[in-house]
């Protein structure tokens, strides 16, 4: 559905002109979000890409769903948005890397780290995707502004994603929307057969 142009890298697969839209509201430190992210990559992307069964019919949009009860949630979502700026084509590969490394950002493993240390750790994780030559640009986007409470360079992008979630009443992760409506029956535990049956009934 609606997506500001600067966040076009959040379209994981499919054309912006595709008639149908699947939106996935996911948190990088949510185990259920990680599970459904793998389904997106392994099951849905092949179906919706240029050679897939449903090519040109549906686009998939990733929606950053910050869950503030996870202490590092804001930091990891900022990192993904910074990658979207410096290496747009690497947004989804880096997102998958974040999901796979999510244990490192759980509450206890990160409890003794400062925000700067967490951001440096995220820069190290991002480096293979964005290249060492863009690592400084990545860290610049995550550096605090000179004003005492102004956030970082991608704060406005993060605000957009949070406002979008709030106005649509999204609370839990994962939450999935199809053509703008919440689809409560979709589960992170769905198999390929489950997805195929559901898609056959919708497309």
- Residue 1 confidence (pLDDT): 65
Low-confidence ranges of the chain (pLDDT < 50): none
- The CA radius of gyration of the chain, in Å to the nearest whole number, is 17
Cα 29 from Cα 72, distance rounded (Å):
8
Q: Which domains does the chain have, with CATH numbers?
A: 5-202 (3.40.30.10)
CA trace torsion 80, 85, 90, 91 (10° rounding) = 40
The phi and psi torsions of 188 (rounded to 5 degrees) equal -65, -15
Q: What is the pLDDT of residues 167-201, one digit of tens each?
A: 999 999 999 999 999 999 999 999 999 999 999 99
pTM for the complete prediction? 0.95
Cα 165 from Cα 64, distance rounded (Å):
8
Cα 125 from Cα 119, distance rounded (Å):
10
- Residue 141 confidence (pLDDT): 97
- Residue 15 confidence (pLDDT): 85
């Amino acid at each position: 559905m609606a997506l500001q142009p600067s966040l076009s890298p959040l379209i994981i697969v499919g054309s912006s002109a595709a008639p149908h839209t699947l939106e996935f509201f996911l948190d990088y430190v949510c185990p259920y979000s990680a599970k459904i992210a793998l389904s997106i990559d392994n099951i849905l992307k092949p179906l919706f890409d240029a050679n897939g069964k449903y090519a040109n019919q549906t686009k998939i949009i990733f929606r950053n769903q910050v869950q503030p009860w996870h202490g590092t949630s804001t930091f990891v979502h900022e990192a993904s948005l910074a990658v979207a700026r410096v290496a747009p084509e690497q947004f989804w590969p880096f997102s998958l890397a974040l999901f796979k490394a999510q244990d490192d950002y759980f509450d206890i493993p990160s409890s003794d780290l400062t925000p700067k240390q967490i951001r440096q750790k995220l820069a190290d994780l991002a480096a293979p995707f964005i290249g060492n030559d863009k690592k400084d640009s990545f860290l610049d986007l995550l550096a605090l502004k000179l004003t005492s409470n102004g956030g970082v360079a991608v704060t406005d992008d993060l605000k957009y994603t949070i406002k979008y979630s709030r106005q649509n009443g999204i609370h839990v992760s994962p939450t999935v929307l199809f053509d703008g409506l919440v689809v409560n029956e979709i589960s992170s535990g769905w198999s390929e057969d489950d997805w195929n049956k559901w898609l056959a009934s919708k497309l």
